[in-house]
Each structure stands twice: as structure tokens, then as C-alpha cells.
Amino acid sequence: MIENNSDLKYVLDSVGKTALWICALRSVSTAYYCLNYDGAADNLESNNQDFENRAIAYLKEKKDLFIPNDPRIASIVYPELKVFDPYSFYFISNLDTKEFIMEFYEQYFEEIYKLYCERQSKVGTIHPRSFSKEELKQIQIQKFKDNFHPIYSWVDLWTTHMIYGISFRTYLIDQMFMNAYQQGIKQFVILGSGMDTRPLRMPLDSQCKVFELDFPSVLSFKQRALEPAIKEIKPASDCKINFCPCDLSDGNWIETIRSQGFDSERSTLWIAEGLLFYLDQSTITKLGNIVNNNSGAKSKFIIHTFVEKSLDSPCFNYKKDDSLKIDGNICKKYLDFTIDIDNREFLSNNGFSSNIEEHREIGQSLISVYSIGTKL
């Protein structure tokens, strides 16, 4: 439980809450991975075996706290997409995030119930019998109260389809990240880093420097939550992480990272995962320019966008133009799906190869596209 929660309140009231949500989904895949872990056979190529062994042993020892003993998890994750983020549990294991999920649940209960009924009629009964609205609400609320990790009740009802997307995304970017490192990149800039823990869980050497950029409150919550976590689960990485509080919608962030030792001449891996659709067009353009002007030879840029917009899920029922004052910065509270980004064009306009590697999720209502370009 995290005590001084004022920064978390900011996080929960802003776009920062999406970072918690994504990390909660990652924790579901991680729980599955830990529960099914059978030692050497399950070695993650991009990860560190020793770190994994220690972390899994630790999580198993504390499994009542960290890993819900819920067989349904097995039915909602994809074993071939191995995701292992033991730190994700620490971000969602506190009462405030529980409250956030409850509030979200209350707010969207009507839509959730609609989805539940549709699912019942499509695939037959998932539950032993159909529940009335009131019964269902009661059951879910009870689950929230009983479970230390309310996310499982939440996921269970309506975000199961997101588990695949987040597992795919984490797995893929883990691979891209490690490939870049193996090709000699030692400087990493994570734009809108949220609760991303790659710099801790990937086996980077002590020559590596990572710059994590996000709103001040997000990074302050993250650092507090990580303090006990890294004592309990020693990171796989020896790199230096520089937390750089900023608002990416102004151009000053480049000065912030320079003041912390960022070197524009070096090869850098830039990551914009789960970020661009929260920014407006002029911020995206500015961001592309800054990256272009501050990338040494052989730098790489990973970007992630959405292509389909059949937003039938309540989580995407966001209103545009609703912004919020936070830490003196205006941040967009909601996703802006009016912005179309062509990954290829964006990368080549900003000095990266148009011969990019591109991956798409399949079978989702909202399809993510992941691209990585190399600086020309």
C-alpha cells in the first residue's frame, strides 16, 4: 500500500491513468506466466534467466498477495506471447488503484452489462446461469472487495480482448528493444513511459542510459511504487534510469533530457508506445522533428498507432477536447482518434528509413500497428 498518495490522485484524474490500466493488463499475462512457469523450458529469449528465476520464486512465495489463484486467467491469455513484468503488480496493488477501477466500473456498468448480455447470447453461458443486472453488479462488487487485485474482476467482464493486444504489444516491443541493444544501442528514450519497466527487466549493462519521460505526477508515483519493488525483486538491468518529468506537448523536454546527460550524437532507441494518440497533431509533428534532430547514426524509433476505429468498447468511449489541468500543465484527458498517423510516412518524414519493420495485431476491433525505423 502506497501511503502519500497525492501524486496518485493526479495520475488517476489524468491521462496518466491509462498507464495503470495497461500495466494492470500486463499483470494478468504475467500472472499466467508465473503460474505456468516450469523452469528452463520457458526461457524468454529477450529476458534474463536469473532475474526471472528469482522474481518468480519471490512471486510464488507471496502468491496470495501477487498472483490470484484464478483458473480463468488461463483462458484469457495467450501462452505463446510470453510476458513477464513482475513489477506490474506493485503499481496496481494499492487501495487507490482499486478505487479507480471501482469508479470506472460504476461509471460504465450499463455498457458493461450490455456487453455481458451480448456475449451470453453469442457464446452461450459463460457463467452457470445468466445474471440480472443487480445480481451481476453485486457479484462484481463483491469480487472487487474480496480480491486484492480488482483488475481480475474487471478484466473478466469486459476487457478480455485487450489481454491479447497488450501481451502482443509487450512481447513485440521487448524483442525490438533487445534487438536494438544487441546491435549496440546504449541510449534509450521512452516517451510517455507510464508504468513501463523494460529498463528494469531487460538485462542492460551499466553503460546504458535510459531517459523516461512523462508527467511529473506519473513519474513520482512510479518511483515511489518501485522503491519497495526493486528491493524485493532485484532488476535484471544495471543501467542508469533518468526520470525526466515533462509535458511532451511543449518542446522543452529535449532540454530536460540534455540536462540529465542525453547525447544527441549517439545512437538512440526512441519508443513511443501507447502515446501518439493522446497527443494533438502539432505536438506529434514537433515531437517527430525533435527526435529527427537529436538522433545519432543508426538510431531507431519505435512507434505505435491504431488503424481501425470501430470503437465498440466502453473504454474507448472518450470525449475529445476534454482537457485537465495537472501539475501546471494542460494534458489531453482523452484519446484523439481524429488523428490519422501513417507510420511509414511519419518515420520517413522524420529522417528514419521508410524500409520499416511493421507488425499488426489481428482479429481485434481496434488494430494496433507497430513500426520501427532506422535513422538514415
22 binds ligand SAM (CB under 6 A): yes
235 binds ligand SAM (CB under 6 A): no
Among 68, 86, 150, 192, binds ligand SAM (CB under 6 A): 192
Radius of gyration of the chain (CA): 20
All cell numbers assigned to 109: 456498468
Alpha-carbon distance of 289 to 270, in angstroms, equals 13
Residue 264's CB is within 10 A of a number of other CB atoms, namely 15
For ligand SAM, the closer of residues 274 and 288 by Cβ is 274
Helix (H) or strand (E) holding 120: helix 109-123
Number of residues that bind ligand SAM (CB under 6 A): 22
Segment near ligand SAM (CB under 6 A), from 125-133, 200-208, 229-237, 243-251?
A: 243-251
What is the maximum alpha-carbon separation in the chain? Answer: 63
Nearest approach, Cβ of residue 22 and ligand SAM (Å): 4
Nearest approach, Cβ of residue 129 and ligand SAM (Å): 36
Q: How far apart, in Å, are the Cα atoms of 241 and each of 91, 238, 262?
A: 18, 9, 11
Segment near ligand SAM (CB under 6 A), from 55-63, 178-186, 245-253, 365-373?
A: 245-253
Q: Estimate to the nearest angstrom the gap between the alpha carbon of 276 and the chain centroid.
A: 13
Residue 116's CB is within 10 A of a number of other CB atoms, namely 20
Identify which of 239, 238, 229, 237 has the alpha carbon closest to the alpha carbon of residue 58.
229
Per the rule left: phi > 0, alpha: psi between -120 and 50, beta: everything else, 372 is: beta
Among 16, 165, 216, 314, binds ligand SAM (CB under 6 A): 16
275 binds ligand SAM (CB under 6 A): yes
Segment near ligand SAM (CB under 6 A), from 40-48, 98-106, 244-252, 333-341?
A: 244-252
Q: How far apart, in Å, are the Cα atoms of 88 and each of 55, 83, 173, 233, 277?
A: 12, 11, 16, 12, 23
Segment near ligand SAM (CB under 6 A), from 89-97, 214-222, 345-353, 356-364?
A: 214-222
269 binds ligand SAM (CB under 6 A): no
Nearest approach, Cβ of residue 165 and ligand SAM (Å): 11
Alpha-carbon distance of 14 to 326, in angstroms, equals 7
For ligand SAM, the closer of residues 18 and 371 by Cβ is 18
What is the contact mask toward ligand SAM in residues 134 to 153, using x (rule: CB under 6 A)? --------------------
Nearest approach, Cβ of residue 1 and ligand SAM (Å): 22
Alpha-carbon distance of 49 to 43, in angstroms, equals 7
For ligand SAM, the closer of residues 26 and 70 by Cβ is 26
331 binds ligand SAM (CB under 6 A): yes
Task: Tell me which residues touch ligand SAM (CB under 6 A).
Answer: 15-16, 18-19, 22, 192-196, 214-215, 218, 247-249, 273-275, 278-279, 331
